[in-house]
Structure 1
Amino acid sequence: MMRKVWIKLVRFGFRLLYYELAWTYDLVSWLVSLGEWQRWQAAALPFVQGPSILEIGHGPGHLLVTLQENGHAVFGVDLSPQMGRQAQRRLRKHQLPANLVRAKAQRLPFKPDYFHTVLSTFPTDYIVDSETLTAVHELLVENGRLIVVPEGHLTGRGLLHRLIDWLFRITGQRDGAFEVDEAQNWPHPTLWEPFRQRFEAAGFQVHIEHVQLKRSVATIFVATKASPNSQT
């Protein structure tokens, strides 16, 4: 009973952060990651391929700016109108097109076989919803990629690092999915298999990358839309 109440409270808090309190999002994400949040997001960029990109859950729009400045044609989807306004202002400030749509990930309003990469950083559990994965699969060209950054992991051993890690755990953002190798200070996945299975059931071939940063490690799911021949 208490766990259910706690989960509801946590989800309510996240909803406030993403909607009514969206103006605090950048500050909160910076604080809970000791400044690593945008680096964790940017760790996905080397895996992006092709000219046409869709970002699901674009938030304040930092990656939308970076992707367009890197020469990609970018669309963004988010359900939060507050985040939509933030992203639009940021794109206009950089004199970039604001190709933004308010929609659910399960109901993406784009034509099939169009995007070369679909990207989502720190999504909630909608990203493993079978409807979301089916929708994304339909939008991707053959051998297109769904790239997901599910979490970043601070590698320090100080009290503040342990406190932040504890906060991630009690809010359900990290369920003990990593065991850290003391010699390499490197996280090894132990609980990602159910997520891999969901991606593969939707027609993706999956591999997981761990990108080593100066003070942390970012986890990257790279799910490639399998060609018809590889599925037979």
Structure 2
Amino acid sequence: MMKRCDLDGVCLEDRRVSTLSYIHSLSRQLICTITVDLRDVNIFLLTIFRISPIFFMQTFLSICTNIRTCIGQLLRRGYAWACERLYHEMAWEYDLVSHCVSLGRWDVWRRTALQAIGAYGKPADLPLLEIGFGTGDLLIAARRQGLPVIGLELSSQMHAVTSAKITKEKLDAPRVQATASTMPFGDGSFSALIATFPAPFLLEPMTLRECARVLSKRGLFVVVGLWVTPIWAGRRINLPLLYATPSQSLLAGWTDAFTSAGFSVNIQPEVAANAEVGILVAQKAVEDSRKI
């Protein structure tokens, strides 16, 4: 069979095959090039989609953290502001507020201070001193038990509320208006000090040194309500700002503060009226004393 040839003498069938091979080869190169380009684009897009969610998530979490921090600061400032008002111009509302936030258990928690004094014992012939007596309920409870007690309080409004209560009860409980950092008492004047639900000033170094000064040898310093954690159905309930169990670092800080002021310290919880109440008992250290 005769092959058909072109003017150059090249077989047309061979030229067709060669052309198809060339087109096929060119197509393969083009497809490979496109595939490589698409692969690069795919890698780029995957990188973007991988990085962007992480970046946006980190940004979102950072914003949430900042918002939470700001809200926490505002709540703490608001809580401090409210407490300041209750100790001064709204002192007449203090008992009602404390009764409400504790569901009527505030007085029971507070009286654990007197129970702690009785449990550890105190030297005779020297009075007790309540630092920051507030509306005077613990002063009245101590006097009803026949304990010699003196009250220290800076707020004039609290003095007025307490004075009305003590007059009504027909009791005698001397009271002094002064700060705990500069108490108008001689060295070793008291056998024991009591403070309940204390304000932050109590843990200041100057205040603790002054407390050690007015205590007699081996005198006790009982602080009730460093923390209160309600117990419901056998479980502790932590409520920020109001009720929460302190961290170990916070407990260590309290211990260090009292130790630096010359006390040996024992911090432990006491269960009272469906709550865990933090009680600190510090004893004025002497050279031969042992920790309680």
Q: For the Cα contact (< 8 Å) 2:223–2:281, is it kept in 1?
A: yes
TM-score, length basis structure 2: 0.68
Matched residues in 1 for 2:203 and 2:84: separation? 19
Return the letter of the residue paired with 2:275.
S
Matched residues in 2 for 1:139 and 1:210: separation? 26
Q: Could you tell me how far 1:7 is from its partner in structure 2?
A: 3.2
Q: For the Cα contact (< 8 Å) 1:208–1:219, is it kept in 2?
A: yes
Q: Could you tell me how far 1:230 is from its partner in structure 2?
A: 3.7
Larger deviation, residues 103-112 vs 210-219? 210-219
Which residue in 2 is equivalent to 1:90? Answer: 165
Q: Could you tell me how far 1:8 is from its partner in structure 2?
A: 2.8
Q: Could you tell me how far 1:217 is from its partner in structure 2?
A: 2.1
TM-score, length basis structure 1: 0.84
Is the alpha carbon distance of 1:104 and 1:214 closer, same or farther for their aligned partners in structure 2, counting shifts above 3 Å? Answer: closer
* Aligned counterpart for 2:215 among listed residues 109, 116, 140: 140
Matched residues in 1 for 2:106 and 2:229: separation? 10
Q: For the Cα contact (< 8 Å) 1:147–1:223, is it kept in 2?
A: yes
Matched residues in 2 for 1:215 and 1:131: separation? 35
Q: Tell me the secondary structure at the aligned position of residue 158 of structure 2.
A: helix
Q: Tell me the secondary structure at the aligned position of residue 232 of structure 2.
A: coil
Q: Does 1:211 align with 2:270?
A: yes
Q: Sequence identity, in percent?
A: 31
Q: Tell me the secondary structure at the aligned position of residue 42 of structure 1.
A: helix
Q: Could you tell me how far 1:88 is from its partner in structure 2?
A: 1.2
Q: Does 1:9 align with 2:68?
A: no
Larger deviation, residues 90-99 vs 217-226? 90-99
Q: Tell me the secondary structure at the aligned position of residue 185 of structure 2.
A: coil
Q: Deviations over 1:126-158 (max 9, x none)?
A: 111001100000000000011101132210159
Q: Tell me the secondary structure at the aligned position of residue 223 of structure 2.
A: strand
Matched residues in 1 for 2:153 and 2:81: separation? 18
Q: Could you tell me how far 1:10 is from its partner in structure 2?
A: 2.2
Q: Tell me the secondary structure at the aligned position of residue 141 of structure 1.
A: strand
> Tell me, which stretches of 5 or more residues in structure 1 are unaligned?
179-188
Which residue in 2 is equivalent to 1:65? Answer: 140
Moved over 2 A (4+): 1-10, 173-176, 228-231
* Aligned counterpart for 1:37 among listed residues 106, 114, 122: 106
Greater share of strand:
1
* Aligned counterpart for 1:177 among listed residues 246, 259, 284: 246
Q: Tell me the secondary structure at the aligned position of residue 288 of structure 2.
A: helix
Matched residues in 1 for 2:287 and 2:189: separation? 17
Q: For the Cα contact (< 8 Å) 2:227–2:277, is it kept in 1?
A: yes
Which residue in 2 is equivalent to 1:154? Answer: 230
Which residue in 1 is equivalent to 2:279? Answer: 220
Matched residues in 2 for 1:151 and 1:25: separation? 19
Q: For the Cα contact (< 8 Å) 1:92–1:98, is it kept in 2?
A: no
Matched residues in 2 for 1:79 and 1:109: separation? 12
> Which structure's relative contact order is higher, taking Cα pairs within 8 Å and 6+ residues apart?
1
Q: Deviations over 1:86-130 (max 9, x none)?
A: 111111222212311111111111111010011000011111100
Which residue in 1 is equivalent to 2:25? Answer: none
Is the alpha carbon distance of 1:138 and 1:46 closer, same or farther for their aligned partners in structure 2, counting shifts above 3 Å? Answer: same
Matched residues in 2 for 1:74 and 1:86: separation? 18
* Aligned counterpart for 1:75 among listed residues 150, 163, 167: 150
* Aligned counterpart for 1:193 among listed residues 249, 252, 262: 252
Matched residues in 2 for 1:213 and 1:68: separation? 22
Q: Tell me the secondary structure at the aligned position of residue 228 of structure 1.
A: coil
Q: Could you tell me how far 1:175 is from its partner in structure 2?
A: 5.5
Return the letter of the residue paired with 1:193.
A
* Aligned counterpart for 1:47 among listed residues 116, 132, 140: 116
Is the alpha carbon distance of 1:98 and 1:176 closer, same or farther for their aligned partners in structure 2, counting shifts above 3 Å? Answer: closer
Matched residues in 2 for 1:154 and 1:98: separation? 32
Greater share of helix:
2
Which residue in 1 is equivalent to 2:9? Answer: none
Is the alpha carbon distance of 1:157 and 1:20 closer, same or farther for their aligned partners in structure 2, counting shifts above 3 Å? Answer: farther
Which residue in 2 is equivalent to 1:129? Answer: 204
Matched residues in 2 for 1:230 and 1:59: separation? 33
Return the letter of the residue paired with 1:135.
E
Q: Larger Cα Rg: Structure 1 or Structure 2?
A: 2
